[in-house]
Amino acid sequence: MHTDRILGVAAIAVAAIMLAFGYGLEAPFAYEPTGPRAFPLIAAGMIALCGVILVWKPGEADPSVPPMPGRAIVALSGLLLAYALLFQPLGFVIATTVFMIPIAMIFGAKWWQGVLVGAVLSVSSFLLFDRVLDVVLPTGPLGGII
Amino acid sequence: MSFVSRAVSAAAISLGAFTAAPSVSAAEPRNPECIAPAQPGGGFDITCKLAQASLQQSGAVKSQVRVSYMPGGIGAVAYNAVVGQRRAEPGTIVAFSAGSLLNLAQGKFGAYTEKDVRWVASIGADYGAVVVRNESEFKSLDGLMSAIKKDATSVIIGAGGTIGSQDWMKAAMAARAAGIDYKTMRFVAFEGGGDCATALQGGHVHVCMNDVGDSQAAIDGGAPLKLLAIFSEDRLPGKLAEVPTAKEQGFDIQWPIVRGFYVGPDVSDADYKWWADAFATTMQSPDYAAELQKRNLFPLPMTGEQTTAFVEERVAAYKKLAADFGLAVK
Amino acid sequence: MDTLSYLIHGFGIALAPTNLFLATIGAVVGTMVGVLPGLGPINAVAMLVPVVFALGLPPEGSLILMAAIYIGSEYGGRISAILLNVPGEASAVMTALEGYPLARQGKAGIALSLSAWTSFVGSAIATTGIVLAAPVLASWALAFGPVEYVALMVFAFACLTGLLTDQPVKALLAIMLGLGISTIGIDANSGVYRYTFGSPNLVDGVQFATVVIGLFAISELLIMLETMHAGASVRIQQLGRSLFNLSEMRFTNAATLRGSLIGFFVGILPGAGGTVASALAYTTEKRVVDKTDPEGSRFGKGDMRGLASVEAANNSASNSNFIPMLTLGIPSSGTTAIMLGVLTLYNLTPGPALFRSQPDLVWGLIASLFIGNFILLAINIPLVGVFARMLSVPAWVLVPFIVVVSAIGVYSGKSTTFDLVLMVGLGIGAYFLRRANVPMAPLILGLVLGKILEQSLRRALSLSAGDVAILWSSPISITLWAMASAVLLIPLLMPRFRRWREETMTETD
């Protein structure tokens, strides 16, 4: 299917969700006539309108968009999500070391280069941000040691 | 509303009791951290920075207390994080305010209640205040109230928070005291008392329901504003002694804004007591009063079980208020 | 004493060796923090507060240090926007629009040095403005109530139609998605929770830094992966000339000046700031160029005038931001709010009296803004070569670096797993939107402007108890409405006017 058509359908779906969860928004009482519902519904309506236009009259396909390397994209997205989820439980140093190795390798690093990047990046940025700049980072299981 | 005065006097008595130096029962927890449940620069940040500075100054805490930020819902995000995932961190204290308790009372903290954490200490308080421009036609709270009574739409009341917030509560209580329906007052919600004070100076609203601390700081800085009344039991000390309370002007409205800390539910008794004692020691150190004053706060020292009792009493009172004003209490 | 002697006095303070040293340190740290995506001035300044106290600096010194970091990070934000298409700062979102295409054409060096220069001009103009007119302009900030903000936002939205040229439906979709995101969280007027799905994490809405990092930094990594697999080079190969030349400067002078003025006036308004200023400057410049030089316009493909105006505007705004802070004690952004907090810790109360009671502090700060800008220009031009080294770092080092810094940036602001996951989720979503040619800059602007528009509109209507007439009740708002209609109507009417003129011309022939 044409990219613009997919985009249009997705936009209509987003608008439908916004409508479903936004329609019931009501204040018990308010001091102005607009209310909390108007803007979300206007946005939903406009998104739906854009979606309909995109489905109805999709633009020319852009030949400059390269084909999507599906497996690589899924792998990188998955790694990023896992990093986000385990950032706190594993602690910054472990999570960063573990996840930056495969991410570096996706971008062409050899395994030892990946290990180097992961280790150096995790330790140096922990020292810089947590110790020098006083940004509290999660320590995870290493909490008793570092 | 004598529960406030009772709490304050109880606090004063126990402050005296602290002079018998409390024995530190547990070792200092590692990596002490203060979670400010807001963006940097706000009231919670100030609360944490106060703890950071004064705990170290008094020698109660040896290592540096670090401040981290977890904004959301006047403490809701931090409350859920501490009750959910970080239940037993001995080194983590979280700042709370009267605003947190008010939201907690209205069920806005999710499924959790005030029984779900351990309340460590209250370290200071601010009070609600009625602020107008210097050249305002309203010279007293009474004048303001009779104008509202005569024609509720003639006075635009601004506040730093939305319906159900502390500032709205103050406005609604004022409306109730004036004998009008709070739903008919002309009310405008701003994002923070500072925004309201700006709108007040620009002449966009007539009166702001703000806090004493911020307002007095603005006035000290030369802002052409004045306080009509303070929502405290008795007059405040220092230059604020000139400003009458709402109560003595015939409107029994009180709004103390307590600031303090809690720890996670699974923090051990020993660590809980260690924090309570650390705050007790700090709050009777000679420099503490100056630190409070720097941050435009007034003393309201309480630690340990006393804080818990105070919090429970306040939450119950807020629940009643919310119900009185027809706010949905989940 | 008059203004000039105060200013000379201020320079005396700012040029004291310690303060000069602090300004230099601040400029360097600020630039570095600004380069990193997700870490903005607010993080840098918040981190520094305890350090400043530990050092026991006097109030002038700590304020000078923080101010230097603040303006330095606005300089730094442009670097990663130009070189990597990853804005280091929200206000650098517009910078990438022209800066990155220029860099891809082998003009990275020119883009970097030219933008450093226009940043300097913008800042210098704004600082001069502070000296000449701060107290007068303070009343302009106060005059902006909810009503005026509504009109300003309508004007800004009208200007955004300038971005709707290429594929208007998609730009409109982006704006509306941004508007939709802006409605998440507690509604500041009614207290109703919107689209929070019962999660406390969304009660205060989506954190701005999370959105910017997700939409730009994370999605850019996926785009890089795609480009790599397509066999094209991931990044820019050559730096090109590292300094702009005189004709390029002359070419952009007018744009720089316009950008500086727009930035100056928008920056004074609390809450508007660099993002709104750079968007207005960009769209204004695009309109001007479309009208005066339609053949020479390379907007969207690397026009130096677009880059110049955006950088002049956001730096000008970050300087004029100090006006409400110094003259009224009103914080106009998160960063100035923290600086105000620092003042109170020194027992100084910010407000109209500050100019009288603390001339050393105020004029020392103003003078150090001038000096800080010179330092920034002086370190940024020679550093073009160093920054360009970022281009020779292999992707397998650069990508993990961006991921880690983005995660730290988000975590430092909210300390929750939720926001980290949200950042990645937004990034993946943005990747698909970008593949479908949906532009990201309008989305950010929809988010920023939409929120101010909605809340101001409803605040204005509760001021008037529901009477819409309040929206055009003040001279400022009427002016802005007129400007908005002009912006919308002139492009529609211009072709007709031209046709009409051509017809009448031919008749007279």
A145 touches chain B (CB under 8 A): no
Question: What is the C-alpha radius of gyration for chain C, rounded to an integer number of angstroms?
Answer: 23
Distance CA C119, CA A122 (A): 34
Give the tens place of pLDDT for each residue, C201-225: 888 888 887 888 898 889 999 998 9
Higher-pLDDT residue of A9 and C141 is: A9
Does the distance separating the beta carbons of B71 and C414 come in below 8 Å?
A: yes
| pLDDT at res. B2 | 41
| pLDDT at res. B16 | 39
Does the distance separating the beta carbons of C349 and B221 come in below 8 Å?
A: yes
Q: Residues of C with CB below 8 A from A30's CB?
A: 189-190, 462
Least confident of A43-52, B20-29, C97-106: B20-29
Does the distance separating the beta carbons of B204 and C145 come in below 8 Å?
A: yes
Residue spans per domain, chain B: 2-125+256-324, 127-249
Residue B102: pLDDT band with limits 50, 70, 90: very high
Higher-pLDDT residue of B329 and C197 is: C197
> Cα angle at C211 between C237 and C273, to 5 degrees?
90
Mean pLDDT for chain A?
A: 90
Distance from CA of B254 to the nearest CA of A (A): 24
| pLDDT at res. C237 | 61
| Length of chain A counted residue by residue | 146
Q: Residues of A with CB below 8 A from B31's CB?
A: 139, 143
Give the tens place of pLDDT for each residue, B177-236: 888 888 888 999 988 888 898 899 989 999 999 999 888 888 888 889 999 999 999 999
Give the pair of three-digit tokens for residue B38.
């807001």
Distance from CA of A110 to the nearest CA of B (A): 37
Work out how many CB contacts closer than 8 A connect A with C: 198
| pLDDT at res. C128 | 92
Examine the pLDDT at C284 and tell me if it is beyond 50: yes
Distance from CA of A70 to the nearest CA of C (A): 9
Residues A50 and A75 in one domain: no
Residues A85 and A20 in one domain: no
C167 touches chain A (CB under 8 A): yes
Nearest to A50 among C176, C396, C421 (CB): C176
Distance CA C420, CA A140 (A): 16
| Length of chain C counted residue by residue | 509
Examine the pLDDT at C502 and tell me if it is beyond 80: no
Higher-pLDDT residue of A8 and C84 is: A8
Give the tens place of pLDDT for each residue, B243-297: 999 999 999 999 999 999 999 999 999 999 999 999 999 999 988 998 898 888 9
Mean pLDDT for C406-422 is 89
| pLDDT at res. B7 | 45
Give the mutation candidate from C84, C404, C433 for the A interface (greatest A CB count, under 10 A).
C404
Residues A81 and A133 in one domain: yes
**B30 phi and psi angles, rounded to 5 deg:** -75, 155
Does the distance separating the beta carbons of C459 and A32 come in below 8 Å?
A: yes
Does the distance separating the beta carbons of A136 and B68 come in below 8 Å?
A: yes
| pLDDT at res. C331 | 73
Question: Is there a domain that residue A84 lies in?
Answer: yes
Place of tokens 């709004």: B255
Share of chain B above pLDDT 90, in %: 54
Q: Residues of C with CB below 8 A from B187's CB?
A: 462
Does the distance separating the beta carbons of A143 and B163 come in below 8 Å?
A: no
Examine the pLDDT at C329 and tell me if it is beyond 80: no
How many domains does the structure of chain C reveal? 1
Examine the pLDDT at A141 and tell me if it is beyond 50: yes
Mean pLDDT for chain B?
A: 86
Distance CA C276, CA C272 (A): 6
Distance from CA of C133 to the nearest CA of B (A): 18
Q: What is the 3-state secondary structure (H, E, C) of C231-278?
A: CCCCCCCCCCCCCCCHHHHHHHHHHHHHHHHHHHHHHHCCCCHHHHHH
Question: Is there a domain that residue A61 lies in?
Answer: no
Domain span at residue C380? Answer: 3-508
Q: Residues of B with CB below 8 A from A143's CB?
A: 30-31
How many domains does the structure of chain A reveal? 2
Say whether B155 sits in a helix, a strand or coil.
Answer: coil
Domain span at residue A133? Answer: 70-144
Residues A42 and A82 in one domain: no
Mean pLDDT for B16-37 is 66
Examine the pLDDT at C430 and tell me if it is beyond 70: yes
Mean pLDDT for C8-21 is 90
What share of residues in chain B are helix, strand, coil (percent, to 5)? 45, 20, 35
Does the distance separating the beta carbons of C416 and B77 come in below 8 Å?
A: yes
CB distance C315 to C122 below 8 Å: yes
Distance CA B134, CA B147 (A): 17
| pLDDT at res. C38 | 67
Give the tens place of pLDDT for each residue, B45-56: 889 989 998 998
Examine the pLDDT at C310 and tell me if it is beyond 50: yes
Examine the pLDDT at B13 and tell me if it is beyond 50: no
Give the tens place of pLDDT for each residue, A73-110: 999 999 999 999 999 999 999 999 999 999 999 999 99
Residue B15: pLDDT band with limits 50, 70, 90: very low
Sign of the torsion formed by the C-alpha atoms of C63, C66, C70 and C75: positive
Nearest to A28 among B33, B66, B327 (CB): B327
Q: Residues of A with CB below 8 A from B163's CB?
A: 27-30
Examine the pLDDT at C338 and tell me if it is beyond 90: no
Question: Is there a domain that residue A65 lies in?
Answer: no
Distance CA B128, CA B209 (A): 7
Examine the pLDDT at B329 and tell me if it is beyond 70: no
Nearest to C400 among A18, A103, A138 (CB): A103
Does the distance separating the beta carbons of B186 and A31 come in below 8 Å?
A: yes
Least confident of A98-112, C41-55, C459-473: C41-55
Contacts of C323 by beta carbon, 8 Å cutoff, 6+ apart = C130, C134, C137, C138, C141, C267, C268, C332
Distance from CA of B321 to the nearest CA of C (A): 16
Mean pLDDT for C266-290 is 85
Distance CA C471, CA C450 (A): 17
Distance from CA of A27 to the nearest CA of C (A): 6
**B71 phi and psi angles, rounded to 5 deg:** -65, 155
Does the distance separating the beta carbons of C428 and A77 come in below 8 Å?
A: yes
Rounded to the nearest angstrom, the gap between the alpha carbon of residue A1 and the centroid of all alpha carbons in its chain is 25
> Which of residues A29, A56, A83 is at a domain's end?
A56
Mean pLDDT for C271-297 is 86
Higher-pLDDT residue of C303 and B15 is: C303
| pLDDT at res. B207 | 95
For A35, name the nearest residue in chain C, comparing CA atoms only: C190
| pLDDT at res. A70 | 86
Nearest to C420 among A54, A62, A87 (CB): A87
Residue A13: pLDDT band with limits 50, 70, 90: very high
Question: Is there a domain that residue A63 lies in?
Answer: no
Mean pLDDT for chain C?
A: 85
Distance CA B46, CA B124 (A): 11
The domain made up of B2-125+256-324 is a member of CATH 1.10.10.10: no
Examine the pLDDT at B1 and tell me if it is beyond 80: no
Q: Helices (DSSP H) in A23-143: which residue ranges?
A: 38-56, 70-90, 92-106, 111-125
| pLDDT at res. C232 | 66
Higher-pLDDT residue of A45 and B213 is: A45
Give the tens place of pLDDT for each residue, C468-495: 899 999 999 999 999 889 888 877 777 7
For B65, name the nearest residue in chain C, comparing CA atoms only: C50
C492 touches chain A (CB under 8 A): no
C494 touches chain A (CB under 8 A): no
Residue C387: pLDDT band with limits 50, 70, 90: confident
State the pairing for strand pair B186-189/B92-97.
Answer: unpaired
Share of chain C above pLDDT 70, in %: 94
Please identify among residues 121-140 of chain A the ones whose CB lies closer than 8 Å to any CB of chain B. 134-136, 139
Give the tens place of pLDDT for each residue, B108-139: 888 889 999 999 999 999 999 999 999 999 99
Q: Residues of C with CB below 8 A from B81's CB?
A: 415-416
Q: Residues of B with CB below 8 A from A91's CB?
A: none
Higher-pLDDT residue of C131 and C48 is: C131
Does the distance separating the beta carbons of A136 and B326 come in below 8 Å?
A: no
Residues A45 and A103 in one domain: no
Please identify among residues 14-53 of chain C the ones whose CB lies closer than 8 Å to any CB of chain A. 43, 47, 50-51
Residues A77 and A50 in one domain: no
Higher-pLDDT residue of C89 and B61 is: B61
Examine the pLDDT at C271 and tell me if it is beyond 90: no
- Whole-model pTM: value is 0.85
Please give the CATH architecture assigned to the domain spanning B127-249.
3-Layer(aba) Sandwich (3.40)
Examine the pLDDT at C176 and tell me if it is beyond 90: yes
Nearest to C211 by CA among C191, C184, C236: C184
Say whether A16 sits in a helix, a strand or coil.
Answer: helix
CB distance C370 to C68 below 8 Å: no
